[in-house]
Chain A
Amino acid sequence: MTSHMSDLELEKLIRSSSFNDSDPDLNKFWRKWRNSVNPDHEEVYMPGKKGGFIVVWVVCFIIIAAGGWFGLTKYSEMVKLQKIDKGEAIVVSMVVGDAEVKNQGATVWKPMAIEDTLQMGDTVRTAADSYCELQMVKRGVFRIESSSEVYLATLVNENDNVNSKLKLDKGQLVLKPNKLKTGDSFQVETSTAVAAVRGTRFSVGVNDTGDTTVAVDEGAVSLQPVIPSIDAALTNGKLDQTTSQDLKNNLIKPVIVSPGQQASFTKTNSDNLNSAVSKALDKISANAGGQVTDTTNIVSEVKSEVASNLPPVPQSSGSISNNNSSLEDSLIPTQKLSDDSAKILNQVSADMIMSNASAMYKIDVNSDPEGAELYIDGVDKGITPSEIIFEKGKQISIKISKDGYSDFTKDVIIDSQMNINAELTVSTNVEVPETNTNTVAQIQTNTNTAPVAPPQTGGTCCRQKTSGRA
């Protein structure tokens, strides 16, 4: 049949078989026209375009990156809390004025701020009119006074027992360790003496001339001189290991500083003792013809030589030692606790020791006007504005005072991060000073620092938080 079909019939057949499944869509055409002329304005809702995939990938990348960052932050926070909980790290709970830290292995000092953590090997120093409080959660609280430098040699040992050894190069350190368990030890070492404690409140200070003073108002502290010449004799071969250790332990017995007492070991006494021991060991070594290995009489022999070589120690006023009858008592006289020492010891107390690393909240205390003295539970905490860390659930009594203004008082139970804003009202019977004469230093925060105004008046130690608002 088809072989007889004419070309015209065939063309008719072809044309009747046209596709009719599409109509001209003018909107689509114009949209495509716009995109072809101006590709930058491609319709964003059009599916299957590369731009859409890029947006999706960018969004996915951002979500993954944000999730990773969030996870890492949470993980590092968890590790930090674990370290604090185990005592491997301590928390800076308050900084007034300038305090700096040099981390282990670092060569530069960096500003220390509230909520920072410190670890073994770090060194902390404070400037004049500055101090900081450090929390060793569940284990103790320390306050490093002005112009001090403390090296955190050790904090805990591998069994998580407290094995704290702090080295005080200069300044003053006030400590309130918690009651220590069996196996725990806590000591502060200066260049001339070692103060070892068991559950007490005490302070150790080294003045500019190198005198070490230990003050105690709870428990007891043993204070024992460091005698470098014994180590030198060991190094030089004049003593063997056993003999040198015997001398260290027994030549000068630790002086026990009881509650209400303070004991001082002056740099002069330290130098004299060291020199006398050195001379005694030289003589005994010469007589022995070399290394001294006989431990039977070495302590008494050296003690006898030291007693004869040691220049007379002046009787210190107010001494309550047993008439300086022993070598120890003459070298390290004990006295009644001074009012200044008692005041400093009151800066730390057992109830300040936090028990939970994950329940610490920062309290921001502000006042209008700024520069008012801040007291927490009666203890001077510098001047406003200030930031302090407290444990959740703790009840504190805040008092803010400023000359010419009525005191602001408030009792607060810590249950979250808090801002305390005190509007100080002018006292009706006191003239308001024209300028803030209290500002002498600054509180370091983890935000920024403000310049420090010079002291205008003597006496009151007032500090200003560096919030940038001053």
Chain B
Amino acid sequence: MEDVQIIKEIKAHPFSGSAFPDETRDYIEELYKRYYSQCYNISRYYGMKKHDAEEVVQDSFIKVLKRIGSFDDSRPFKPYLFKIVLNTVRDKYRENFKHSHASIDSLLDEPSEEQQILIDSFHTKSLFHSIIIKMPEKVKEVVLLRNFSGLLIEEISEVAGVGRRQIHNLLNKGYEIIKRGLEEENK
């Protein structure tokens, strides 16, 4: 079933009180399972711990469901979802670093030494991951959307709020960073 059909079904049977009708629950769960992995990976590559990344996905879908009534189902759903995911990730960062008294802006641009340690601790899975997380914010956003959301260039352009040409430039820049990082590691 296409996303648009699922969204229409959910909109046709909105929640009352705190509960959705059973049939709507099935559609929501289908949507949740369909995009969970992509949303989760984007959150993880942004430096979230496992628990925080899971919360980001849950919170993102809750936002989607609460706003589903005002969603224009003639438009593609995925860009809408990943825009919410990216905003939720940023909100989560602000929440986490508010408690650690760190600046989100500095984290999202050039990581400090302290943040580097933090990032390393988040992403020890591979060197590859650590390269992505050090990327400038906009480059990282585009690279992750391109590789984990399954969005088309046009859709990424919509989510990122930049033109398609700019998306290509950001992707090229991102891939160059990755290649350079891998080469340096191999020296």
Which residues on A are within 8 Å of B, measured CB to CB? 1-3, 5, 7, 10-11, 13-15, 17-26, 28-30, 32-34, 36-38, 41
Contact across chains for A17 and B40 when beta carbons are under 8 A apart: no
Contact across chains for B18 and A34 when beta carbons are under 8 A apart: yes
A36 to B171, CA, bound (A): 37
- Chain A nearest CB: distance from B157 CB in Å? 17
B89 contacts the other chain (Cβ, under 8 Å)?
no
Partner of A19, one of B41, B65, B147, B172: B41
B132 contacts the other chain (Cβ, under 8 Å)?
yes
A22 to B44, CA, bound (A): 11
Contact across chains for B183 and A15 when beta carbons are under 8 A apart: no
Residues of B within 8 A of A24 (CB): 32-33, 36-37, 57
- Chain A nearest CB: distance from B145 CB in Å? 12
A298 to B132, CA, bound (A): 121
Residues of A within 8 A of B53 (CB): 19, 22
- Chain B nearest CB: distance from A46 CB in Å? 13
Knowing A13-B128, A36-B62, the reply to whether A18 touches B37 (Cβ < 8 A) is: yes
Grouping DSSP codes into helix (H, G, I), strand (E, B) and loop, the B interface class, with mixed when no group exceeds half, is: helix
B22 contacts the other chain (Cβ, under 8 Å)?
no
Which residues of B, 87-146, contact A by the 8 Å Cβ criterion?
125-126, 128-129, 132, 143, 146
B2 contacts the other chain (Cβ, under 8 Å)?
no
B53 and chain A: residue at smallest CB distance: A22
Contact across chains for A2 and B186 when beta carbons are under 8 A apart: yes
Partner of B179, one of A5, A15, A38: A5
Residues of B within 8 A of A23 (CB): 36
- Chain A nearest CB: distance from B18 CB in Å? 4
Residues of A within 8 A of B40 (CB): 19, 22
Residues of B within 8 A of A2 (CB): 179, 182-183, 186
- Chain A nearest CB: distance from B51 CB in Å? 9
- Give me the 5 closest cross-chain CB pairs, A-B, nearest first: A24-B36, A37-B18, A2-B182, A19-B44, A14-B147
Contact across chains for A22 and B148 when beta carbons are under 8 A apart: no
B148 and chain A: residue at smallest CB distance: A18
Supply 7 A–B pairs (Cβ within 8 Å), ascending by A.
A7-B172, A18-B37, A19-B45, A23-B36, A29-B32, A33-B18, A38-B17
- Chain A nearest CB: distance from B22 CB in Å? 12
- Chain A nearest CB: distance from B156 CB in Å? 13
B178 contacts the other chain (Cβ, under 8 Å)?
yes
Residues of B within 8 A of A7 (CB): 171-172, 175
